[in-house]
């Protein structure tokens, strides 16, 4: 995926350079709220920049980071319906824990939950 984005950006830069010859360089900027994998940065080209969860504050600085964290705290995530990836975006949530939560759910989705509850209520009322 990163390689595809890199190639698209490189191609776009070449077209833009034809119109604006003063352009000297370009950089692919990747921003993610996920964790860094051990070898992820080794696979990138030299003109790629990655801001990931652990280096967010270093890159953006305390003021912006504190606002981003405040904003993030106001985002609501339903742990019962969130994808495994969404669960991993929760601060301090480890990949293994997110996987356990996701895989041990009793219901597939909200519809499945409501369906099973409705059946139990109907059986109880009989």
Residues 30 and 58 in one domain: yes
Domain-terminating residue out of 75, 99, 118: 75
pLDDT winner (highest mean) among 3-17, 21-35, 44-58: 3-17
Residue 115: which domain range?
A: 77-126
Annotate 69-106 with DSSP letters as a single string: HHHHHHS---TTT--HHHHHTSTT--HHHHHHHHHT-S
* Angle of CA points 59, 65, 67, to nearest 5°: 150
Residues 1 and 60 in one domain: yes
Domain count, the chain: 2
Domain-terminating residue out of 75, 93, 109: 75
The string of pLDDT tens digits covering residues 63-83 is 555 545 544 544 567 777 777
Residues 19 and 58 in one domain: yes
**pLDDT classification of 97: cutoffs 50, 70, 90:** confident
Residues 68 and 88 in one domain: no
In this predicted structure, the answer to whether residue 21 has a pLDDT above a threshold of 50 is yes
Residues 52 and 86 in one domain: no
The string of pLDDT tens digits covering residues 47-63 is 887 777 666 666 666 55
How is the chain split among helix, strand and coil, in percent rounded to 5? Answer: 60, 5, 35
Residues 50 and 27 in one domain: yes
Of 25, 59, 61, which Cα lies nearest the Cα of 45? 25
Residues 86 and 59 in one domain: no
Q: How many CB atoms lie within 10 A of CB 66?
A: 12
């Amino acid at each position: 995926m990163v390689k595809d984005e890199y190639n698209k950006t490189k191609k776009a830069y070449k077209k833009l350079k034809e119109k604006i010859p003063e352009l000297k360089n370009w950089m692919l900027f990747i921003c993610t709220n996920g964790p860094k994998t051990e070898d992820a940065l080794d696979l990138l080209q030299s003109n790629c920049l990655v801001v990931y969860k652990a280096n967010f504050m270093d890159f953006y600085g305390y003021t912006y980071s504190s606002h981003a964290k405040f904003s993030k705290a106001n985002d609501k995530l339903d742990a019962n319906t969130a994808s495994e990836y969404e669960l991993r975006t929760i601060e301090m949530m480890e990949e293994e824990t997110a996987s356990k939560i996701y895989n041990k759910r009793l219901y597939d989705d909200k519809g499945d939950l409501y369906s099973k509850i409705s059946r139990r209520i109907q059986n109880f009322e009989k």
